[in-house]
């Protein structure tokens, strides 16, 4: 009797084992893989090609411009704790602007470089020389000697509208020939980490990362509208906020950079004082803001145009100043409220160009035509 439960348990176990191991299809073993004689899949009708018109335009912009975009490797020498030389490499982008091998890029890409190497789309490498630099606008032109170069088409950045398409091509993180797409997110003035101010910078959400600096920002036709320069990011990578220097800013100085190696900075030839509402009221000036001419540089642009400096000696705190000079309130119709406004206007002009300066002489408002001089250290 005592053995009966044990015998019944063994019988049930045997029956269960038989059913689970000998009856086909009763149970499916874990990990079982079927191996049919032929795999049946669904294939597309033909090779994948360009889709809608938008895709076709993306491809067209890329193919048109990729031969002109280059990878720039700069080699600089830093010094360790013991003042030993430590070679370092940096990477950026640029784009060819003519058949002579001139390449436009950012100044910070080539600054302090002991050696520059340019890699083209066909992977050929060339030594490059710096032709001209414009640190104030973070621009530089370098040059290589190579055959059969393809140059980019420089567009017009004036009148860009928020919402227009933007394509960025460059070498982010050293990944050459990368294109990203976005829109023009805003047009605003921004300041680079080194203090350089970019007037009317093009903000875009096209992904820009380290290595994109100096590469082109393109419109839907594939024309260059900007030079990708900086990103706003807490982690040093794309956060959808990148900025490009307007191509018109670069075009305004290209001739100087290529022919002179520098930019002929314009100058009014004045020593000035910023005027705010309190000073304007205290001095009895007819406008609340502007730039008061304290002194004109003899033979300078302002002096030649007949602008007047101060004649009455006074003190602003412990600083001696001259009152009674002309008060500049606009240049070419653009309001001038402080020296920064005046500097911004000057950055859009070159030495030798003509401008119209709006002044108050006493209570009288008047316009004066002036030919800008070249800066020689004066204001």
Of 274, 257, 275, 277, the closest CA to residue 265 belongs to 257
Q: Are strands 85-96 and 102-105 parallel, antiparallel or unpaired?
A: antiparallel
Token digits of residue 372: 């800008």
- Please give the backbone phi and psi of residue 211, each rounded to the nearest 5 degrees, phi first: 110, -20
Are 286 and 276 contacting, i.e. CB atoms less than 8 angstroms apart?
Answer: no
**111's tokens:** 């600054």
Q: How far apart are the first and last CA of the chain?
A: 118
Using CA atoms, how far apart are residues 103 and 143, in angstroms rounded to an integer?
A: 6
Judge contact between 141 and 131, C-beta under 8 A: yes
The closest alpha carbon to 266, from 379, 132, 367, belongs to: 379
Q: What are phi and psi of 247, to 5 degrees?
A: -65, -25
The residues assigned a catalytic role are 108, 138, 213
Distance CA 245, CA 137 (A): 8
* CA dist., res. 285 & res. 275, Å (int): 9
Provide the 10 A C-beta neighbour count for residue 80: 8
Cβ(225)–Cβ(218) below 8 Å: yes
363 near 329, Cβ under 8 Å? no
Nearest to 370 by CA among 311, 281, 297, 313: 297
Q: What does the alpha-carbon distance between residue 134 and residue 137 come to, in Å, rounded to a whole number?
A: 6
How many Å apart are CA 54 and CA 51, to the nearest integer? 8
Helix (H) or strand (E) holding 50: none
């Amino acid at each position: 009797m005592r053995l009966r439960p044990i015998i019944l348990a063994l019988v049930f176990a045997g029956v269960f084992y038989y059913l689970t191991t000998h009856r086909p299809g009763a149970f499916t073993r874990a990990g079982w893989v079927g191996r049919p004689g032929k795999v049946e899949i669904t294939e597309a009708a033909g090779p994948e090609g360009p889709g809608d018109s938008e895709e076709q335009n993306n491809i067209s912009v890329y193919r048109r411009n990729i031969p002109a975009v280059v990878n720039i490797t700069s080699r600089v020498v830093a010094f360790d704790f013991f003042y030993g030389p430590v070679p370092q490499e940096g990477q950026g982008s640029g784009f060819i602007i003519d058949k002579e091998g001139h390449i436009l890029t950012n100044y910070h890409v080539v600054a302090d470089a002991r050696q520059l190497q340019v890699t083209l789309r066909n992977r050929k490498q060339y030594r490059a020389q710096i032709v001209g630099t414009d640190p104030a606008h973070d621009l530089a032109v370098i040059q290589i000697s190579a055959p059969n170069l393809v140059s980019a088409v420089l567009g017009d950045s004036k009148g860009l509208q928020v919402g227009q398409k933007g394509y960025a091509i460059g070498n982010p993180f050293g990944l050459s020939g990368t294109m990203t797409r976005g829109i023009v997110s805003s047009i605003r003035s921004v300041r680079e980490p080194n203090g350089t101010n970019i007037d009317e910078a093009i903000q875009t959400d096209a992904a820009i990362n380290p290595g994109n600096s100096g590469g082109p920002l393109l419109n839907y036709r594939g024309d260059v509208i900007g030079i990708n320069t900086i990103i706003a990011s807490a982690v040093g990578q794309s956060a959808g906020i990148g900025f490009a220097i307007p191509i018109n800013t670069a075009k305004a100085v290209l001739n100087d950079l290529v022919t002179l190696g520098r930019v002929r900075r314009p100058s009014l030839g004045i020593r000035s004082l910023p005027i705010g509402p309190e000073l304007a009221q205290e001095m009895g000036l007819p406008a609340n803001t502007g730039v008061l001419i304290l002194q004109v540089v003899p033979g300078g642009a302002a002096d030649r145009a007949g602008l007047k400096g101060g004649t009455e000696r006074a003190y602003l705190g412990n600083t001696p100043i001259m009152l009674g000079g002309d008060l500049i309130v606009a240049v070419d119709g653009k309001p001038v409220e402080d020296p920064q406004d005046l500097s911004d206007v000057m950055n859009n002009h070159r030495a030798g160009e003509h401008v119209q300066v709006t002044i108050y002489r006493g209570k009288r408002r008047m316009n004066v035509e002036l030919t800008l001089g070249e800066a020689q250290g004066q204001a």
